[in-house]
Structure 1
Amino acid sequence: MTTALVTGANRGIGRHLASQLLERGATVYAAARRPETLDLPGATPVALDVTDPAAVRAAAELAGDVDLLVNNAGISTGAELLGDLDGVRAALDVNFWGTLEMVRAFAPVLRANGGGAVVNVASALSWFAAPGAGAYAVSKAANWAMSNALRLELAGQGTRVTSVHLGLADTDMASGIDGPKTDPAEVARRTLDAVEAGDLEVVVDDWSALVKASLAEDPRAFYERFLAA
């Protein structure tokens, strides 16, 4: 039976991931900065700010039976690289450094429990940039590259690393953005199905597939289409 810890489990995609893991018979640690906001009967609440190394270490000590680590916690500050530098740093602190801190703390736990798996929730913005999302795009590109590197570094202990990429999901983070949005429950379902299948990457929606395919092209063509849309 799987024992999972999900960060950012109090809302959005994270809550659906934790809820669906419970439905699939897993034991779940549901982590959030404010555990009182968690509403997941059957899950063990964990107070966790992924930017706080002491809190991350405490979570790894508490959840010593975990064999699936789901790094879902993330922020979008709306910062541009030439704008608010504090916003840029905040995006990287959560989306890159916080995720890496979690993997570093839980790698020995996963090894002790047979290897298991890590899921890092990235974005289609790992592969392109958009106005108003410069810092977010950089942080998620770093998250994707981190997953690729960790996949190699953790292979020796039998730990799989899966990277999840999607466009807009119908969550609080995207509430002020117009455009087609994927149901977060569907994001969670596809992610967990991919983990069960041993997949290394989840491309959730058609937009993400289009963006990924564009990486083999001249970037001028993609950005001309993007800016004209």
Structure 2
Amino acid sequence: MDIYIYCIDSQANDLDLNTLSKTEINRYLNFFFIDDQINYAANQIIKRSVLEKKLGVLAKNIKYVTDKNGKKKVSSFYDFSASRSKGASVFGVSKNRIGVDIEKIIDTNNRYMPLKNAFLCDAETGFINNDRELIINWTIKEAFLKYIGKGLYVEPSSFGFKILNQSKIEFYKGINNFSLECLDYLVFVINRKYCISICFPKKEKKIRIFLLNKNREISIICNTSATNLEILNKSFSFIFNKQ
């Protein structure tokens, strides 16, 4: 399993829009703010360039198929998941199923807390006390929902998670026809600004995290997996090299 994390630089000379499809270029042009343009383009370029190496298909020729729940697929051999937040993005790819999410941890004076009942199950409302905890919890839920391929077609308040310690997460309420005991989670913070959660099967043998474009500080909140974890600092141009 490979995870690619990109945080926006003041310069973005490495971005080559020729990798993108016409639809993606049009969407890129529709963003009002330049940082949003860069973040979107970087995420799409990473996605296409990495999949090009995996599939042996030119990046610009890769075609996605979207299922009834909105999940994009490209091959029966690889699964992928992507997420963007203000100023950063993450892309994960694996031969097994995968779900990733990223959210910016911002100082909001707990202005999101009045909305917590819309996102949290009854058990979670008893121990989530501030926006930081809410945002971290939300990334775990999003990663899980992307993993099972349901997105927001499942009500977020119908299930929940609690981080018990640095190696254990407790699940509240089950989802029908899904075995939860086979899952692992990796939750960490980049540069004290972004929380990233990854949901993956216990059979995953290796996790590589590529920190693109700058050295980044990683703080692990919880890792339930015994899988070997490797963290690598690389330039953005690394994704174009043979891996």
Higher relative contact order (CA 8 A, sep 6+): 2
TM-score (norm 2): 0.34
TM-score (norm 1): 0.35
Q: Which has the higher strand share?
A: 2
